[in-house]
């Protein structure tokens, strides 16, 4: 076998053994429904483990994000199937957002806010998340932004470790905490009343629903 034939054979073998190709594109309106279905699968396990707001948000809110000018939604697919999703914004948006823009201004940070980053559970450990993060770093660089900023549930240990290995650090602490409360019923339990005075028929109800007899316990003003 000549060297050229051996090289050609090696190339064919390498091509045959090559893994699948991941592609990224911007979300199109026709992708909204299947992207929504993907997110419900991707966040299923996380939602079972956290009391944080559940993800994804309502379908109506998800559809509205598509029309937000300051938001990018990216789909990552392999052979046409969605394997990851990322949603980023270039400024603090939304009336329910807890982020303080002045924090970043004081530190001369220009963030790209990562609102969502989801990988299909069947594709964990196959380099999908790393490719998504590389794409977001690239998006930030070409926009002149200096940081990726995101929120992770404090008890999502796998995600926390994954991000820490990739250079993320905590900016602040926001932890949900719970303490047990000694529960008391709203309605008081039955109570034994003192016996009626000798000779009084305290058990006979009066026509207005009260009890005949002594009016010692009657409310003032009646």
| CA neighbor of 88 nearest in space, from 71, 69, 110, 75 | 71
| Distance, CA of 144 to chain centre | 28
Please report the sign of the dihedral spanned by the C-alpha atoms of residue 96, residue 101, residue 102, residue 107: positive
Q: Is 77 helix (H, G, I), strand (E, B) or coil?
A: strand
Strand partners, 112: 148
101-145 tens-digit pLDDT: 888 888 888 888 998 999 999 999 999 999 999 999 999 988 888
Predicted model pTM: 0.68
Contact 56, 65 (CB under 8 A): no
Q: Mind listing the domains of the chain with CATH numbers? A: 19-164 (3.40.630.30)
């Amino acid at each position: 076998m000549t060297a050229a034939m051996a090289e050609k054979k090696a190339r064919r073998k390498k091509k045959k053994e090559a893994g699948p190709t991941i592609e990224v594109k911007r979300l199109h309106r026709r992708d909204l429904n299947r992207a929504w279905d993907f997110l419900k699968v991707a966040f299923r396990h996380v939602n079972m483990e956290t009391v944080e707001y559940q993800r994804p948000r309502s379908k109506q809110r998800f559809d509205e994000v598509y029309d937000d000018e300051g938001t990018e939604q990216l789909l990552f697919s392999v052979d046409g199937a969605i394997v990851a999703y990322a949603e980023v914004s270039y400024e603090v948006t939304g009336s329910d957002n807890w982020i303080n823009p002045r924090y970043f201004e004081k530190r001369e940070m220009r963030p790209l806010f990562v609102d969502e980053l989801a990988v299909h559970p069947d594709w964990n450990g196959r380099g999908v998340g790393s490719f998504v993060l590389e794409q977001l770093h690239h998006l930030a660089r070409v926009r002149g932004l200096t940081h990726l900023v995101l929120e992770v549930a404090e008890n999502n240990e796998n995600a926390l470790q994954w991000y820490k290995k990739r250079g993320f650090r905590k900016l602040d602490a926001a932890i949900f905490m719970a303490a047990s409360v000694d529960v008391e019923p709203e309605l008081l339990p039955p109570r034994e009343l003192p016996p009626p005075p000798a000779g009084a028929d305290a058990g006979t109800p009066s026509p207005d629903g009260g009890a005949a007899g002594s009016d010692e316990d009657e409310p003032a003003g009646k």
